[in-house]
Structure formats: C-alpha cells, structure tokens
Amino acid sequence: MAVTLDDKLVVAISSRALFNLEEENQLFESGDPEAYMRLQLERLDVPAQPGIAYSLVQKLLRFNDDGVQRVEVVILSRNDPVSGMRIFRSSVSAGIKLQRGVFTQGRAPFGYLRPLRAHLFLSANAEDVREALGAGFPAARVLVESVKASDAFPNEVRIAFDGDAVLFSDEAERVFQAEGLDAFQAHELSKAALPLPEGPFKPLLSALHRLQLAGNASMRIRTALVTARSAPAHERAIRTLMNWNIRVDEAMFLGGLPKGEFLREFEPDFFFDDQTGHVDAAARHVPSGHVSSGISNVRNPR
C-alpha cells in the first residue's frame, strides 16, 4: 500500500522556526556557506535549543501518542543536507519524532509544499512565506524574537488567529482602508448574513477542526479569533464561521484595542496576524507569525 499524508495534518517548518539557530544563521547570511556547513558539522552532537514554534510542534505531535498517526511534521529548509543531520539529531534529543525533511541548500523550498499537501508552512524567511501564500498555502513568517510559549497548558494546542486577511479574505479590510471605519461598519452590517470569502488560513482552521474531531484522549485544541472588529461588524465574522460549520473556542472583538495583553491571557502556542504592527506588538507576549497577505501587505499599494 502506497505511503500517503492525505489523512494527516501536515506542518512544514524551517529549521530556524523549530530551533534557535540564530548564531549559525548569521554565518550563513554572511555569504560563507562552506563555513556555515563546517560549523553545523562541528556541532553535530550539540542539540540546538528550542525555537519559537517548538512548543506548537511538540504539542501537535502528541496527537500521535496513542499510536495513530494524525500529525506529520516535515522539515522544509534552505539548509544543506549536512546541516539537516544536526536538525534530525536535535529533534531526537528533544523527543520530537520527525521522519521527513527536505533540504535545498539555499534554493527556495516552498515548491515542495504541493507534494506534501501542507496545511501550514512556518519559516523565518519572508520571501519563502510570500511565495507559499501566493501558491495557496497557509504560511507565516516566524518572528524569531518572539517570547517562548507558556507551559501552562501542556495538554492543549492553543492557536489564535486574526480575522480579516487571515481566516477571512481582505474584502472588508479593503473597504476600511479605502473609506474609513464608518464605511467599514456599514458595509459589514449590510452584508451580515453573507459569509466572508475564505482567507489564507481557513484550510488550517478546517484541518485543526478535523484533528479535534478525530479524537485523542490526552490532547485537545483550543482556538481563538482575535480581531480588531467590534459590534456591529462582529456578526458577519461569527456567521461566516457558522457557515463553515467550524467553532472557535474564544472570540475577542477588540475594536482596535492592542491585542498583546489579551493574547497574553489566552497564552497561545502561536498567533497569526497579517499586520506587522500587530504581530510585532504581540511578539512581546506570545509566539507570533506574520501572514503577508491582503491589502496591508501589498507592496507600494495605490
């Protein structure tokens, strides 16, 4: 019987998103790949320290603890194969069970998301993330300077999502940026019963929903919608989720209030937002990733 990942939640992740390799990366970015490879080889038996997405990966893989493979994590990296040996050894040392990896030695790796059928791509490389989003895959640039995840909820995978341009399309955000808050509120009130089009992270939310329904006695998923929307624009967001037959556990309609302190109370393993200001502020409180989609990320918008 052919091996397939079709029935699994597939997360593709770069080496720097999973492990703290910032010292090594400075050498890589200096333009001396041979010196970088030598350093990685010298440190082959030195386990890399946890990176920003470490907690998320560790918890997701616990859904496999009962012997049923529900989650697959694949290293997808610009590293060379020699460096890949260290990544796999570091994962063994950390108790993270990785089987698969693709190492492209500097070439953009996002093209391999398609044969992997990935539900999420996490990378510290902004261009790789933009290309992955453009190809239709949920992807985020990990802010390597984010604080580490809380260990307060060892049996829950906690993920927080922004709404517009992340879970939903940027349709409403375009109205807001072009015409202002009053026009945005009127637009959303008039379309309250009309579901928003899907955003880039809707496939991930659906996959998490299926994983939760698949069941594992020891682990569960808790999701939160954390959005700058407020009443009356909240209704369209809620009705959209209802139309998708997906529930989030918590919804925060903050009306422009800073998201950071609310996220600190929720304590997610990861937070996804399309606006750099929100992501940078959130990174002081929780692990965060920038989703470079939608009108807020159009280069030189007119």
Q: Are residues 138 and 219 in the same domain?
A: no
**265 falls within a domain:** yes
Measured CA to CA, the distance from residue 138 to residue 67 in angstroms comes to 27
> Tokens at residue 149, please?
């995840």
Torsions phi, psi for 74 (to 5 deg): -120, 130
**Domain match, 13 and 121 both:** yes
Instruction: Tell me whether residue 128 is one of the annotated catalytic residues.
Output: no
Whether residue 114 is found in the same domain as residue 238: no
Residue 302 is predicted with a pLDDT of 36
Please name which of 128, 122, 62 lies closest in space to residue 97, comparing C-alpha atoms: 62
Query: How many CB atoms are closer than 10 A to CB 171?
Result: 17
User: Of these residues, 7, 80, 128, 162, which one is catalytic?
Assistant: 162
Specify whether the CB–CB gap between 266 and 226 falls below 8 A. yes
Same-domain status, 110 and 24: yes
**Residue 234: which CATH number?**
3.40.50.1000
Buried b (16+ CB within 10 A) or exposed e, 83-120: bbbbbebbbeebebebeebbbbeeeebbeebeebebbb
Decide: 133 and 126 in contact? Cβ < 8 Å: no
Output the tens digit of pLDDT for each of the chain's 302 residues: 678 888 899 999 999 999 998 888 888 777 777 888 888 889 999 999 999 999 999 999 999 998 999 999 999 998 888 889 999 999 999 999 999 999 998 899 999 999 999 999 999 999 999 999 999 999 999 999 999 999 999 999 999 999 999 999 999 889 988 888 888 889 888 888 999 999 999 999 999 999 998 877 689 999 999 999 999 999 999 999 999 999 999 999 999 999 999 999 999 999 999 999 999 999 999 999 999 999 999 864 43
**What pLDDT shows up at residue 196?**
94
- Classify residue 53: in a domain, yes or no: yes
Asked if residue 182 and residue 129 are part of one domain, the reply reads no
**245 and 162 in one domain?**
yes
Strands 288-290 and 71-77: unpaired
The label of the residue with tokens 């770069």 reads 14
160: in domain: yes
Answer yes or no: do 126 and 161 share one domain: no
CA distance 292 to 126: 8
Q: Which domain holds residue 290?
A: 156-296
User: Which residue, among 222, 210, 202, 198, has the nearest Cα to 59 in the 3D structure?
Assistant: 222
- C-alpha span between 52 and 139 (Å, rounded): 15
pLDDT score, position 301: 42
- As given in the structure block, the two tokens for residue 151 are 């260990």
Q: Is 276 found in the same domain as 210?
A: yes
Q: Are residues 117 and 163 in the same domain?
A: no
Nearest alpha carbon to residue 16 among 145, 173, 180: 145
| Residue 123 shares a structural domain with residue 101 | yes
Is there a single domain that holds both residue 166 and residue 124?
A: no
| pLDDT at position 1 | 64
Q: List, in sequence order, every residue forming a beta bridge with 250; answer none if it has no partner.
A: 224
Number of domains in the chain: 2
